[in-house]
Structure 1
Amino acid sequence: MKTSSVTLYSTGYRETRTYLAAALFAAGNIVLPQLCHLVQLGGPTMLPIYFFTLVGAYKYGWRTGLLTALASPLVNAALFGMPAVTALPAILAKSALLAGAAGYAARRFNRVSVALLAAVVLFYQIVGSAGEWALTGSFTAAVQDFRIGIPGMLLQVFGGYLFIKYVIRK
């Protein structure tokens, strides 16, 4: 299990860079889903709306992650109709859980590793699925990410690690 030290930040709501980083990560969460939706079931399989929320929250703190988590699904739904409005509560809940978990893990451990990112992804997926089940009453809908979204979770863990460690070093 390889652990690597990187520069991690915890920005506040009074800092301009919080909003600039959130805007950039939200833009990534708008573009990446559009690319994934070019392939049949690309969205539900690759779970692209969560990728830059994870990266943003881990690298720049939970506040940046939360802004990204809330803006991304809402803007995508308004501009492209995806995710569907009926799916927004569950996606927003999972996104907020992801932002909180990633920000907490980064601050608590002050390093990035595949194991830490896997723990963050499993946390938000398990707790988020329970919340989705409570919201929708459908166990099948709630565990859809575990049925067909494993590639997306792996992308978040391994792609997120590479992105945090090598792409956004500063």
Structure 2
Amino acid sequence: MESTTVKLYLLNYSDVKTYLTTLLFVIGNMLFPQCFHLITQGGIIWLPIYFFTLIGAYKYGWKVGLFTAVLSPIINSLLFGMPMLVALPAILLKSVLLAIAAGWAAQHFGRISIPVLASVVLAYQIVGTLGEWIYNGNFYSAIQDFRIGIPGMCLQVFGGCLFIRYLMRK
């Protein structure tokens, strides 16, 4: 896939569209994981809780991404028990890092491409893994996404690129 220039939005906290857009991405981050949780270990393999955070932050800016990053895991945990409370700090850390990295990359590069999205995903995963390791003190547990979640990272990169390109046409 070639690189494509993206029409980006940087929505403000005073803009109602920020909250409506965030609501749509939070709903996506609630429904998408439910589909993957039908598969044994689907959540930890496919990492679906991050998908719409990536898209929201990349296409609509870090503010939408940050709202989505924080609200999605908390609401999912409260309503569905997934992620479990013990995993919530690490998932929140990675979600926030993803929102910041995606928002920054979109503004900096102004285009969508596989290498840019791969860099965003690797950046949040590496820094998030280090943070998780510091937080829980268990390296083996902290590298779980790199041991098991490679399909999910690929979904974020390739699926995210396709979804953002789809949004560009709408």
TM-score (norm 1): 0.98
Contact 2:73 2:92 in 1 (8 A): yes
Q: Determine the structure 2 residue equivalent to 1:11.
A: 11
Partner Cα distance (1:93, 1:100) in 2: 11
Identity rate, percent: 60
How many Å separate the matches in 1 of 2:69 and 2:168? 19
Deviations 1:91-143 (A, max 9, x none): 00000000000000000111111110000000000000000000000101110
Instruction: Please list every run of 5 or more consecutive structure 2 residues that lacks an aligned counterpart in the other structure.
Output: none
How large is the RMSD of aligned CA atoms in angstroms? 0.9
Task: Please tell me whether the aligned partners of residues 7 and 169 of structure 1 are also in contact (alpha carbons under 8 angstroms).
Answer: no
Residues 57-82 of structure 1 show CA distances to partners (whole Å, capped at 9, x for unaligned) of 00000000000000000000000100
State the 1:168 CA deviation: 4.9
In the TM superposition, 1:142-157 aligns within 5 A as: 142-157=142-157
Letter in 1 for 2:80: F
Residue-pair matches, total:
170
Q: Is this contact kept in 2: 1:8–1:60, CA < 8 A?
A: yes
User: Matches of residues 1-170 of structure 1 in structure 2 within 5 Å?
Assistant: 2-170=2-170
Residue 106 of structure 1 aligns with an amino acid whose one-letter code is A
Contact 1:22 1:67 in 2 (8 A): yes
TM-score, normalisation: structure 2: 0.98
Equivalent residue of 1:73, what SS?
A: helix
